[in-house]
Amino acid sequence: MRKLFAVVLTAMALAVVAAVGPPAVAASASGPRAPQDSALQTATVTVLHGVPGVTVDVYANGEKVLSNVGPGVLSAPLRLPGGGYDIKIFKAGENPGGTPLARKTVTLSAGSNDTIAAHLSRTGSPMITAFVNDTSAVPSGQARVTLRHIAAAPAVDVRADGRTVATNLSNPGQAEVQLPAGTVSAEILRAGTGDVVLGVPRVPIAAGTNVILYAWGSADQHNLALAVQTIVGP
């Protein structure tokens, strides 16, 4: 499995796209698929690097699979066999025998759609969170919008087009809402206040998709940013 994982994620390194400065927006793209695999036999996995101010190397099961990944980068989705993976991130070029910035054992289920996010904890320490992305059907003409708080910041409330859609959302929490297809703008506010900590520009949401908004970075370092991932179907 180690060899297979290294081969598949080496392809991910070729598909990684660079993000722009805050508010950073990274959009996913279609990735390669193993010719013999079906969606029922594999998991679809995307990796987000949301630790500001550091370029990293990513290791899986002891082997380097991504090199010199900058903050705000969202990889293309790949199909991986279900099972457990030991994920570690190091500062780029550091000895992998040392202490990683963050480490987590991630279990992928066949048929699932997952995002593995390296980000800051509430108190500013690097950590890894694995999210399972909701690909279930929504009513005709609707889209699912998922809000994920992975920033070093207090709990937040979220308004979409002026309507409160999530309250007291804490790191690494998430909330979902169904909205009419079209575009959506949002504001992320310090929980229980009217203080806007991050404004979300108008984002297109197509019918039947899951548009995932990640608030990442650090409030104390004044580098909060946004990443956007759009999932079409399972």
**Gap between the Cα atoms of 76 and 80, Å rounded:** 13
Instruction: Give tens-digit pLDDT for 116-152.
Output: 999 999 999 999 999 999 999 999 999 999 999 999 9
Q: Give residue 77's pLDDT.
A: 81
Average pLDDT, the chain: 84
Per-residue pLDDT, averaged over 89-112, amounts to 94
The yes/no answer on whether domain 142-232 falls in CATH 2.60.40.1430 is: yes
Segment 3-17 mean pLDDT: 37
Asked whether residue 201 carries a pLDDT value surpassing 50, the answer given is: yes
Give me the percent of the chain exceeding a pLDDT of 90: 69
Residue 233 has pLDDT above 90, yes or no: no
**Using CB atoms within 10 A of its CB, is residue 88 exposed (0-12), middle (13-18) or buried (19+)?**
buried
pLDDT band at 39 (very low <50, low <70, confident <90, very high): low
Q: H or E element: which one contains 6?
A: helix 2-15
The DSSP annotation for 150-189 comes to EEES--EEEEETTEEEEEEE-TT-EEEEEEESEEEEEEEE
Cα of 51 vs its chain's centroid, Å: 11
As a whole number, mean pLDDT of residues 105-125 equals 96
Q: pTM, whole model, 2 decimals? A: 0.82
Q: Which of 81, 87, 72, 172 is nearest to 129 (CA)?
A: 172
- The pLDDT value given to residue 188: 95
- In the chain, where are the structural domains located? 2-132, 142-232
User: Coil, strand, or helix at residue 119?
Assistant: strand
Mean pLDDT of 52-81: 88
